[in-house]
Amino acid sequence: MKVVVGGTFDCFHRGHEALLGRAFEVGDEVHIGVTSDAFASKKGKISQYSERVEAVTRFASRFGKPFTISKLDDVYGETLQEGIDAIVVSTETLKQAKKINALRKRRGLKPLEIFVVKKVLAEDLFPISSTRIREGEINRMGKRLRALTIAIGSTNPVKIEATKQILAKIFPAVEMRLYPRSVDPGVGSQPFGNATIRGAINRAMQAIGDCDYGIGIEAGLFYIPGVKKYYDVQYCVIVDKFGRRTVGHGPGFCYPDEVIECVKHGDTVEDAIEKLYGIKKIGQSIGAIGLLSRGHTDRMQITQQAVLMAFVPRLHGWE
């Protein structure tokens, strides 16, 4: 199988290795296109063509399969020629591959089999890119070179500590700075249903500022028709400097009817717990779940679960 793969290959990094590695894995013969200096200059400051070709050649030579390297002055290269069977692309260039197949079809050529390579993540869970390497944010292997900045839209000590503990597990080798910020979630003190998610979004969006990540955490009551009960569910929303948003939530638990009655008459859950059980500001300590579970779990633990669940798509680089 003859396979084509192309790119700028500036600051040759692990993402490039994954792209070329997949091409050599599926192909018996690989045709590599490297963008010319003139074509690549549209992206800003780029290493010279000869340097980029040298890096590609050095890596491609490891596979012991025949390959060629040609200069790309446009996005098509050899893709519209006969005798090519497949193309390897990144998720970013998949659209272009589909366009190429449409052009091939109009020219009476068989479509190329498309192999898509996912973005390779740096240790901060952002994709490795030549731009980030040039800016000194990461190195070519994806190691973070400066502190990861994270803002949380809350000054609640339980939320802050729970977030710190999960971040330490997710980014064990990364220097981090966590900034608690007082924000207005815009949903009132006792949200219900989707207002809970909206509050978490508002917290994250207002908090992020110029940080890498913004985190918003909001708990609310959700009525579950199947059991005819209100369940407390805590949501976490994570936004990042690239505009991506991920959402997760922790476990849900129901309240005694007397708590719900108080809430229906205008109290927050925290107010109701104080009235019924005499415990003040429970939301800043064990939380209602700490009381109701008789200490088998607490708000810290269920907050950690919500934050972790919001990171799940990022841990796998899901689009």
The number of angstroms, rounded, from the C-alpha of 76 to the middle of its chain's C-alpha atoms is: 30
Domain ranges of the chain: 2-120, 148-316
What's the pLDDT at 202? 98
Fold: same for 2-120 and 148-316: no
The CATH architecture to which 2-120 belongs is 3-Layer(aba) Sandwich (3.40)
What's the pLDDT at 291? 79
Q: Please, what's the b/e burial string for 274-293 (b: 16 or more CB within 10 A of its CB; e: otherwise)? A: beeeeeeebbeebbbbbbbe
Q: Please give the span between the terminal C-alpha atoms of the chain, in angstroms, as a whole number.
A: 29
Amino acid residing at 293: S
Question: Would you mind telling me the total number of residues written for the chain in this entry?
Answer: 319
Give yes or no for a contact between 151 and 209, defined as CB atoms under 8 angstroms apart. yes
Report the alpha-carbon distance of residue 218 to residue 280 in Å, rounded.
Answer: 19
Three-state SS at 221? strand
What pLDDT, in 10s, does the model give residues 226-239?
Answer: 999 999 999 999 99
**pLDDT, mean over the chain:** 94
Report the alpha-carbon distance of residue 140 to residue 13 in Å, rounded.
Answer: 5
Mean pLDDT of 249-272: 88
Band the pLDDT of 269: cuts 50, 70, 90. Answer: confident
What's the pLDDT at 287? 82
The number of angstroms, rounded, from the C-alpha of 274 to the middle of its chain's C-alpha atoms is: 39
Indicate the angle between helix axes 269-277 and 257-264, nearest 10 degrees.
Answer: 120
Three-state SS at 162? helix
What's the pLDDT at 276? 79
What pLDDT, in 10s, does the model give residues 135-189?
Answer: 999 999 999 999 999 999 999 999 999 999 999 999 999 999 999 999 999 998 8
Give yes or no for a contact between 283 and 299, defined as CB atoms under 8 angstroms apart. yes
What pLDDT, in 10s, does the model give residues 87-146?
Answer: 999 999 999 999 999 999 999 999 999 999 999 999 999 999 999 999 999 999 999 999
Report the alpha-carbon distance of residue 269 to residue 263 in Å, rounded.
Answer: 6
Number of CB atoms found within 10 A of residue 195's CB: 17
Report the alpha-carbon distance of residue 29 to residue 9 in Å, rounded.
Answer: 19
Report the alpha-carbon distance of residue 156 to residue 137 in Å, rounded.
Answer: 31
Give yes or no for a contact between 198 and 187, defined as CB atoms under 8 angstroms apart. yes
Mean pLDDT of 287-306: 89
What's the pLDDT at 268? 86
Give yes or no for a contact between 23 and 3, defined as CB atoms under 8 angstroms apart. yes
CATH class of 148-316: alpha beta
Give yes or no for a contact between 36 and 63, defined as CB atoms under 8 angstroms apart. no
The torsion angles phi and psi of 21, rounded to 5 degrees, stand at -60, -40
Report the alpha-carbon distance of residue 6 to residue 86 in Å, rounded.
Answer: 12
Q: Can you give the pTM of this predicted structure?
A: 0.90
